[in-house]
Chains A and B, each alone.
Chain A
Amino acid sequence: MSAIVKEISGSQAVLEACIAEGVDTIFGYPGGAIMPIYDALYDYNDRLKHVLVRHEQGGIHAGQGYARSSGKVGVVFATSGPGATNLVTGLADAMIDSTPLVCITGQVFAHLLGTDAFQETDVINITTPVTKWNYQITDATEIPHILSKAFYIAGSGRPGPVLIDISKNAQIQKFNYEGYTKCNHIRSYRPKPIVRKEYIEAAAQLINDAKKPFVIFGQGVILGRAEKEFKAFIEKGGLPAAWTILGLSALPTDHPQNVGMLGMHGNYGPNVLTNECDVLIAVGMRFDDRVTGRLDKYAKQAKIVHLDIDPAEINKNVTATVPVWGDCKETLPLLTQLIQEKQHKEWLALFNQYTKDEHDAVINAELHPTKGELTMGEVIHLLNELTGGNAIVVTDVGQHQMVACRYAKFNETKSNITSGGLGTMGFALPAAIGAKFGALDRTVVAVIGDGGFQMTLQEMGTIMQTGLNVKILILNNRFLGMVRQWQELFNDRRYSFVDIQSPDFVQLAKAYGIHGASVDDRELLKNALQTMLDHEGSYLLEVMVGKENNVFPMVPQGCSVSEIRLK
């Protein structure tokens, strides 16, 4: 780049790298071992927005929310020792959900490594299993090169979290800075397998010969920015398509060929018909056990086409008849070209028949109850009405998550943000903060249970300080609902430590300067939601819902997807 060599510190080099990579927001928390970077940040305040979180776990979940709403790499700063270990849950979450992050942690002076120095911990080894790549820098001259690698690795191929640990001496050290060059090649790293034509042809052949083809799609479509290509593919082939929880919002929920959600609490048709289709086309998904149920009874009758960018996913859980390696942005159009224009009307009608059965057995009662306690479903249903399906919905983990994902409407991609793989309670509030920073022009609603909210509610402090506009919708059933549901169904109602008490959430929000209300009356619910959405700035709405409502349908653990229970 620039031929002018100037002397800068390692800390400045870190921030220069962030700017060169187009980073606009950093989530972080200062501490002793990262002080030189924070000192440098003081002078970069006009170019880099730093969001001070209340806990490093909140910081990394915010980074994840930012990455998932914006499609960019999330950046997180934390100090050594406890600061770094507090990132671990978020790293594991980002690893399993393929979220691109660059986390920078401070480390003690290099000469103190291994001496049990104050706030020293072996961050590299602690984080190795939960990072796509990590590296410890002890010399400032490495910083530009290593950070360019970090951003490249985090964002390319199958994305994931990268952690760079920088010792304090390297942050302070001055060196001759020769500018920043973006990395675009590492010889030992192949982000994208080469697309092989013969497999595209074989896949197209299978699809063209199929009588009952069924597409299941995951987050790969979103991560590959291939929403348009995907839509064109299923529309040309007349293929019914169902989504995994992370694939949600890649295809508008009201698309006529969108037949619903897969898996344990997914829709009736997609689960049952997985075991009746003749060709199953999996796009950017990894056959998680919550999607497949019992593997030896999963789609055994079907030929399987698996499109994935990660070669290790092919044949990991489900054996593919035709593996289509590659970025789905490239493979889907090639496949679309070769498939015949078709409409599988009868087959699609079968999905609709199952949808109708599910409506009668479950959905109507959940979305349109007229008496009794409020249901989570009716809250989400009203929210859909009021947002028109244009909001970003961030969910935590548990019953409310399943209900929100089942019933939320989405028109736009990157609108559903949830902890799918790791199932991290406490994810939603900080992730919603990050999601808002990643999409400032959009409405962000965090749907959270009373249990999960209490895990990271300190991040209301971040909202308070940044003046951010995030809607917090607590669905309070005064139980750790999902565990309670399992205890009811499988442990003879032995409710072991699921009866959780909560503080007055509205008062708590008030203490943080966040307006709020609590509602338990069906008559008032719609207005309460409208007030929340109309409010200028953040707002907390607590909805008291039925204490012992269950989420159905359900594929009990160890059962086949076709054994899905409606009650």
Chain B
Amino acid sequence: MKKEYTITVYTENQIGLLNRIAIIFSRRKINIDSLNVSPSEVESIHRFTIVINETVEVVRKLCLQIEKQVEVLKAYYNTNDEIIWQEMALYKVPTDAVAEKLQVERLLREYGARAVVIRKDYTIFETTGHREETDRLIQFLEPYGLIEFVRTARIAIIKASSGFHDKIREFEAVEPAEELIENEFLDKGQAVFTM
């Protein structure tokens, strides 16, 4: 059964690696629904957060193909209940509409929104949340002349994760710790792909 999976990949910061990872999906005609790449908590290590809709078998194989890339340190996949995730959204609306018609107070309270810029001609609100939450705010603002809207990719933290600081030391060792080659065969049940 297909469902939403979040793939987290730790990599070196290398030109061309984004393409190497992207073509693993496109070769199999799999759409990437959301993609975020940014520096991780460990210096020089980048973190990819990729969201796709696929079966667990396919996701597992994709992660192994990703990990096979020379500059990839580790790839994890998780269902939505195993992660905490957020997307950020910016909304640009005419200031007069905001000032006159909109109940700004309600907006701020109900949607957790924040005004980033208030100018004579337009105001920009920001909010973070799940897709449905940011979508709801679009619907709310549309009648007031929403000028522009943008949303970031998903960023996610794996609930069971203890970070990558310790891991990187193990990677740097010439003789890796056994844990680094953990996989669903070698490790039992819930411990699979946890960090």
Contact = CB atoms under 8 A, between A and B. Distances in A.
Contact of B72 (A124, A128, A136, A188): A188
A454 B12 CA distance: 45
A189 B183 contact: no
Interface string A184-217: 1111111001101001000000000000000000
B37 interface: no
A136 B14 CA distance: 11
Contacts of A129: 23, 27
Nearest to A134: B16
Contacts of A188: 11-12, 70-73, 171
B181 A190 contact: yes
Nearest to A132: B70
A153 B71 CA distance: 11
A437 interface: no
Nearest to A135: B16
A421 to B, nearest CB: 15
A189 B64 CA distance: 13
B17 to A, nearest CB: 10
Interface in A431-450: none
Contacts of A194: 176, 178, 181
Contacts of A310: 68
A328 interface: no
Nearest to A312: B64
Given A194-B176, A311-B183, A316 B61 contact: yes
Interface in B1-41: 11-12, 15-16, 19-20, 23, 27
B174 interface: yes
A124 B16 contact: yes
A196 B180 CA distance: 13
Interface residues of A, number: 30
Contact of B70 (A136, A153, A316): A153
Nearest to A193: B181
A2 interface: no
Contacts of A312: 61, 64-65, 67-68
Contacts of A314: 185
Contacts of A153: 70
Contacts of B185: 199, 314, 320, 323
Interface in A111-168: 124-125, 128-129, 132-136, 153
Contacts of A410: none
B67 A128 contact: no
Given A128-B19, A193-B181, A194-B176, A186 B70 contact: yes
B150 interface: no
A153 B70 CA distance: 8
A325 B178 CA distance: 12
A281 B69 CA distance: 27
B186 A196 contact: yes
Interface in B136-193: 168, 171-172, 174, 176, 178, 180-181, 183, 185-186
Contacts of A315: 60-61
A153 B16 CA distance: 17
A134 B72 CA distance: 14
A281 to B, nearest CB: 16
Contacts of B27: 129
A267 to B, nearest CB: 31
Nearest to B22: A128
Contact of B176 (A134, A190, A311, A323): A190
Nearest to B174: A185
Given A190-B176, A190-B180, A128 B70 contact: no
Interface string B64-98: 11011011110000000000000000000000000
Contacts of B183: 311, 325
Given A128-B16, A199-B185, A311-B183, A187 B70 contact: no
Contacts of A184: 174
A282 to B, nearest CB: 15
B61 A133 contact: no
B13 to A, nearest CB: 11
A311 B67 contact: yes
B89 to A, nearest CB: 32
Contacts of B168: 187
Contacts of B60: 315
A304 to B, nearest CB: 13
Nearest to B172: A187
Interface in B53-67: 60-61, 64-65, 67
B73 A125 contact: no
A199 to B, nearest CB: 7
B187 to A, nearest CB: 10
A193 B67 CA distance: 12
A133 B185 CA distance: 28
Nearest to B68: A312
A125 B174 contact: no
B59 to A, nearest CB: 13
A136 B68 CA distance: 20
Contact of A311 (B16, B19, B64, B178): B64
A323 B184 CA distance: 11
Contacts of A133: 70
Nearest to A313: B64
Nearest to B184: A315
Contact of A325 (B72, B172, B181): B181
Contacts of B11: 188
Given A199-B185, A325-B181, 12 more contacts: A124-B16, A128-B16, A136-B15, A187-B73, A188-B12, A190-B176, A193-B181, A194-B178, A310-B68, A311-B64, A311-B183, A316-B64
Interface of B: 11-12, 15-16, 19-20, 23, 27, 60-61, 64-65, 67-68, 70-73, 168, 171-172, 174, 176, 178, 180-181, 183, 185-186
Sorted nearest first, the 6 A-B pairs with minimum C-beta distance are A312-B64, A187-B171, A133-B70, A188-B73, A193-B181, A189-B70
30 contacts: A128-B16, A128-B20, A128-B23, A129-B27, A132-B70, A133-B70, A134-B16, A135-B16, A187-B168, A187-B172, A188-B11, A189-B70, A189-B71, A193-B181, A194-B178, A194-B181, A196-B186, A199-B185, A199-B186, A311-B181, A312-B64, A312-B65, A312-B67, A314-B185, A315-B60, A315-B61, A316-B61, A316-B64, A320-B185, A323-B185
